[in-house]
Structure 1
Amino acid sequence: MKKLLLAGVSLTAIGLINAANAADTLPPMKAGSACDPYKNYSCLDSYLGSDFFTRFVNYYRLEWGHEAAPSDPKAPPSRREYWPATPQTTPPMPFTEWPYGGTTSLGVTRPSSIDSPLMAALGNTAFGQSLNDNHIQIYGWINAGGNLSNNTVRGGNSPAAYDYNPNTVQLDQAVVYFERLPDTVQKDHVDWGFRVAPIFGENYRYTTAYGLFSSQLLNQNNNNGFDIPMAYGEVFIPQLAEGLMIRFGRYISIPDIEAQLAPNNYMYTHSMTYTFDNYTNTGIEGTLAANKNWMFQLGVTVGTEAMPWHVGQSIANPFPNPLFPNSTMLKDPGATPSVTGGVRWTSDSGNDDINIVANGINGGQWGYNNLQWYGLTYYHKFNDQWHISFETYNEHQNGVLNANNPAALAAFAAGGTPFSPQYMPFNSPFLAQCSTTTEFSCTASVQTALMYLNYKPEPLDNISYRLEWFDDEQGQRTGVKTQYIETGIGWQHWFSPQIEIRPEVSFYKSLNANAFNGNSNLGIAPNKSTALIGSADIIIHF
């Protein structure tokens, strides 16, 4: 059945490619289609039609084969004229500005600026007009994919991601954004915004924060699940320097080349560098544009993948031990006041960008995902076709229980830690494989280096080559104490700004021990040191 499903995905992709080649010969659906909004924007509404379904379908037809939506000549400037140049375009890249996170992009964001078939379809309704009047947009995407792998055990592709289960087809994520973008181009008034972004699918296992719908993963190990990785408000104060953005709520951690949301990535799968670092913070983040080149970020959160209601919350400790010596212990020691700080520099040309960040900094005690993250990202654009993205970081946690110490293992099995199987039967944080058996706990660290080399041969195509090294020094992130090397190549092809496919092939090698084709939840030890995975997905935006 899985092979039939994979064949179906392949045939669907072939059909879409054929449709793309034939798009110019399709007859118009309505009389209004005789106009071309790319040549005469004023006829857009007549082209789309009057009823919701017709407008929805016709908007996909309108953009098919184009790299952008038709341009409104009356639209205000989309960026400050003296701002660094926009380095990329979407399509075919997953972003226009070099990613820096923690804020809506400063100096380059206008309200109601997302190109959305759903919003176009709603445009002539009372509900749609009310949304437009208030600069609120509703949009999203459906993302599904599949893979073929030399692994066979359920979950055996891990620590590769986001294709946890080998040889399967899956719903990766269905996402809806409810959003108001603040106007960060203007400098004459305070503006505001918000985003609520629920997600459903297999990818929830990577976004889950302890205490927010987390029983799906930690108590049931559901294959598909629900999460809200972003739920925040923003206030933009343009009168301070070149603008101050204050974000509050749950938001994506800073910085990273990649992100949880499918369209924000070069390739279908994610690097290990991204898979095992900080994902989301909950708290307050301030981003100040000191001038057009320099930005500074400072935030206060409750840790990483941690919820405010876990701060100070205790549970019974049935087995006091050197790491948790009292009759009670914190439910999540990582849910604690934490600090994030960062600095970003961008060249006038926009060709170079560097971010240096310390994220989720606190005492570093062993928590659900209490990662002390220190790193940087760097981007360089060679020309309109070639650019490179680079990321490196060191992250650590202190006082992680030692898997090589019998007394520590006994305490873990008896419920003497917040992450023992009595509390988290599935997907709990791994223990550390410390250097000696005498240590009850130790510091667990990771060092990484990641590079993407990207080539745009055509406006609707991007080819990405990924190369990374990942050193899980105590095995606390992946469950295996080893270094990894990984390399892969992927093709990002857009049929229009609304539909894209991303086939790829990646090879993983664990250098010091077997790390693949196992599943800790099932008690199956890894028995392979390599993983060869071919995969592909499709993203349909709406």
Structure 2
Amino acid sequence: MKKLFLAGVSLTAICLINAANAADTIPPMKSGYACDPYKNYACLDSYLGSDFFTRFVNYYRLEWGHEAAPADPKAPPSRRDYWPPTPQTTPPMPFTEWPYGGTTSLGVTRTSSIDSPLMTAIGNTAVGQALNDSHIQVYGWIDGGGNLSNNTVRGGNAPAAYDYNPNTVQLDQAVLYIERLPDTVQKDHVDWGFRVAPIYGANYRYTTAYGLFSSQLLNQNASNGFDIPMAYGEVFIPQVMEGLMVRFGRYISIPDIEAQLAPNNYMYSHSMTYTFDNYTNTGVEATLAATKNWMFQLGVTVGTEAMPWHVGQKITNPDPNPLFPYTTMLKDPGATPSITAGVRWTSDSGNDDVNVVANGINGGQWGYNNLQWYGLTYYHKFDDRWHISFEVYDEHQNNVINANNPAAAAAFAAGGTPFSPQIMPFNSPFLAQCSNSTVFSCTAEARAALTYVNYKASALDNISYRLEYFDDVEGQRTGTKTAYVETGIGWQHWFSPQIEIRPEVSFYKSLNANAFNGNANLGIAPNKSTAVIGSADIIIHF
């Protein structure tokens, strides 16, 4: 874990050392220099050099202290001229368009729009030219971070995320994107795209889908692991109204403010609101731009964090218990045909955006993460410096075994479900702490409200304040039956579009019971009702 993080830091150090050594041969960037690519784009290639390593290092050097790469005056428009204006910029915000997910952004995406040191470094090679001609991009980042906390137990920061282990330094994620973006600006031809995004690091804990490399988390409880949270193809059909996108594969669920992958978030840590709802879906998602203001989404999936080959399957319980409504389940009962539906409205000014979504809707049978999610997100831009992001939802699962019923808890421990300890020894879904101890199972519900208040302090600095309320009504999501309040503030500073840091501090309070400084995998009960966590990370894009 630490070796990989240090490797990322060492890469930066090597880049800086090499840049210093190259000072005699590569002209310094200074105002008025005749071959400044920011003044004359035609100078870019001669400034970068010819060999891979020199070009790679000099691209970091070129962008250092700048908010964007030099603009190509011959580049085609990046969005339709009648589309709502782009609300944000990156840097300093983590996105340019208000997030809605399930599709490459419609009306605003060109096929070759990635600012990547790696692609630039190979741009003058046969491989790089072939990739560029095919509009295929290869890029990624390394994200390492750490935290200081008043918790001491391994895993004791939970249910806060993503800094699961207190007082540690970790490799959060090393990510590689291989993708082709469909051109959604044009309206004259069908286009296509794809993305494969493998991830390695501590954050796999939050992206794991049952049945896809899940033994790392559910059978080994590994600190670092591998996952592929995105592996999908897309077809864009511009002739249908303002454009229809069909995505198929595994993709990040809609429509959260936050996302698992580090650069797409305001802060290093994540809200509880995001941590305990739907992460990924696998299936088919259609997104229709009916007008420049209205978009509609409809998807068919196999539930949430579930694989198609892991569909619910049952056999007769060899030891029937009249109190036990389940037969023995070999696979995830939440892996079942499910519906996602959403509607998005954006104002003409681009200053307001609303998404109303129902995600992963099926019979709601208790599964690995079979969440029946109903909610909305809302964004409002006050001016070029201030905007807010707001999310609210209600989610539930049905027939969750009651931990407060001794017979039900004993039946679970005996191995009657795919989540029983004999099958899933680590990180299994929690039982419900039903209000009525006589019932064998009940519906487990969670409600959340979250807001981010965001301030653009400069072209390279964003300050975000987070406030949320999360009510784990039956304790099934976090393991503790309590409501929570959380608040935090973070600073996102970009040294360049390729390197950013995000220090922050957050305070958590469980209102009805102790929820922090415990670890269910180790049999350690939580003994604190508050958590104070200071943390920071560095993201190095390549």
> If the length of structure 2 is used for normalisation, what is the TM-score?
0.95
Give runs of aligned pairs for residues 273-284 of structure 1, distance below 5 A: 273-284=273-284
Counterpart in 1 of 2:525?
Answer: 525
CA distance in 2, matches of 1:55, 1:138: 16
Question: How far is 1:457 from its partner?
Answer: 1.1
Change (3 A) 1:315 1:44: farther
Equivalent residue number for residue 84 of structure 2: 84
> 5+ unaligned residues in a row in structure 2: which ranges?
none
Q: Which residue of 1 aligns with 2:234?
A: 234
- Distance in 2 separating the partners of 1:480 and 1:322: 28
Q: CA deviation at 1:323?
A: 7.4
Distance 1:78 1:199 in 2: 29
Alignment of 1:121-200 (within 5 A): 121-200=121-200
Q: Describe how 1:74-113 pairs up with structure 2 within 5 A.
A: 74-113=74-113
Shift of 1:319: 4.4
> Does structure 2 conserve the Cα–Cα contact (< 8 Å) formed by 1:323 and 1:441?
no
RMSD: 2.2
Equivalent pair of 2:314/2:327 in contact (CA under 8 Å): no
Distance 1:294 1:157, change over 3 A: same
Partner of 1:66: 66
What pairs up with 1:61-460 in 2 under 5 angstroms?
A: 61-314=61-314, 317-321=317-321, 325=325, 328-460=328-460
**Partner letter of residue 30 of structure 1?**
I
Q: Distance in 2 between matches of 1:321 and 1:80?
A: 63
User: Residues 522 and 110 from structure 1, CA distance in 2 versus in 1: closer, same or farther, beyond 3 angstroms?
Assistant: same
Partner residue in 1 for 2:26: 30
In the alignment, the residues of structure 1 paired with residue 24 and residue 515 of structure 2 have an alpha-carbon distance, to the nearest angstrom, of 54
Cα distance in 2, alignment partners of residues 148 and 128 from structure 1: 43
| Unmatched 5+ stretches in structure 1 | none
Counterparts of 1:472 and 1:396, CA distance in 2? 10
**Residues in 1 aligned to 2:479 and 2:28: alpha-carbon distance in whole angstroms:** 60
**Is the CA contact 1:231–1:249 (under 8 Å) kept in the aligned structure 2?**
yes
Q: 1:130 to 1:271 in 2, by over 3 A?
A: same
Instruction: For residue 30 of structure 1, report the CA deviation from its aligned partner.
Output: 1.9
Name the SS of the counterpart of 1:286 in structure 2. strand
Mapped to 1, the partners of 2:324 and 2:236 lie a distance apart of 44
Deviation digits for residues 376-430 of structure 1 (CA, Å, limit 9, x no counterpart): 0000000000000000000000000000000001101100122100110000000
Q: 1:345 to 1:322 in 2, by over 3 A?
A: farther
Distance 1:505 1:74 in 2: 44
Kindly state the Cα deviation for residue 358 of structure 1 after the two structures are TM-superposed.
Answer: 0.1
- Secondary structure of the equivalent of 1:453? strand
Q: What's the secondary structure of 2:467's corresponding residue?
A: strand
**How far is the alpha carbon of 1:31 from its aligned partner?**
5.0
State the Cα distance separating 1:540 from its structure 2 match.
Answer: 0.2
Q: Contact conserved, 2:455 with 2:462, CA < 8 A, in 1?
A: yes
Q: Deviations over 1:172-193 (max 9, x none)?
A: 0000000000000000000000
Deviation of residue 327 (structure 1)?
5.3
State the distance in 2 between where 1:327 and 1:463 align.
Answer: 52
SS at 1:157's partner residue?
A: coil
Task: Letter of the 1:208 partner, please give it.
Answer: T
Q: Is the 8 A contact 2:328 2:417 kept in 1?
A: no
CA distance in 1, matches of 2:168, 2:320: 43
Q: Distance in 1 between matches of 2:343 and 2:473?
A: 28
Going from structure 1 to structure 2, the CA distance change for 1:325 and 1:251 (only over 3 Å counts) comes to same
Tell me how far 1:61 sits from its aligned partner: 0.2
Kept in 1, the 8 Å contact 2:324–2:408? The answer is no
SS at 2:479 equivalent: coil
Contact 1:184 1:236 (8 Å CA) reproduced: yes
Structure 1 residues 31-40 or 181-190, which shifts more? Answer: 31-40
Shift of 1:373: 0.1
User: Structure 1's 366 and 117: CA in aligned 2 closer, same or farther, altered over 3 A?
Assistant: same
How far did 1:331 drift? Answer: 1.1
Residue 294 of structure 1 aligns with an amino acid whose one-letter code is W
The one-letter code of the counterpart of 2:334 is G
Contact 2:66 2:496 in 1 (8 A): yes
Larger displacement relative to structure 2 (26-35 or 264-273): 26-35
How far apart, CA to CA, are the structure 2 residues paired with 1:32 and 1:485? 50
Tell me the equivalent position of 1:487. 487
Q: Which amino acid aligns with 2:301?
A: T
What is the CA distance between 1:66 and its match in structure 2?
Answer: 0.4
The aligned residue for residue 50 of structure 2 is: 50
Identify if the C-alpha distance between structure 1 residues 426 and 105 changes in structure 2 by more than 3 Å, giving closer, same or farther.
Answer: same
Cα gap change, 1:244/1:28 in structure 2, threshold over 3 Å: closer, same or farther? farther
Q: When the two structures are aligned, how many residues end up with a matched partner?
A: 531
The Cα offsets for residues 188-239 of structure 1, whole Å up to 9 and x where unpaired, read as: 0000000000000000000000000000000000000000000000000000
Report if aligned partners of 2:103, 2:247 keep a CA contact under 8 Å in 1.
yes
Measure how far apart 1:329 and its partner are: 2.4
Give the 3 Å change call, closer, same or farther, for CA 389–433 of structure 1 in structure 2: same
Q: Please list every run of at least 4 consecutive aligned residues from structure 1 whose deviation after the TM superposition is greater than 6 angstroms.
A: none
**TM superposition shift of 1:32:** 9.2
Residues 44 and 370 of structure 1: CA distance in aligned 2, closer, same or farther (over 3 Å): same
| Partner-residue secondary structure (3-state), 1:194 | strand
Distance 1:388 1:132 in 2: 37
Provide the rounded CA distance (Å) in 2 between the counterparts of 1:192 and 1:38. 32
Question: Percentage identity across aligned positions?
Answer: 84
Q: Does 1:463 align with 2:463?
A: yes
Deviations 1:451-484 (A, max 9, x none): 0000001000000000000000000000000000
1-structure distance, mates of 2:24, 2:67: 20
Question: How far apart in 2 are the matches of 1:413 and 1:465?
Answer: 42
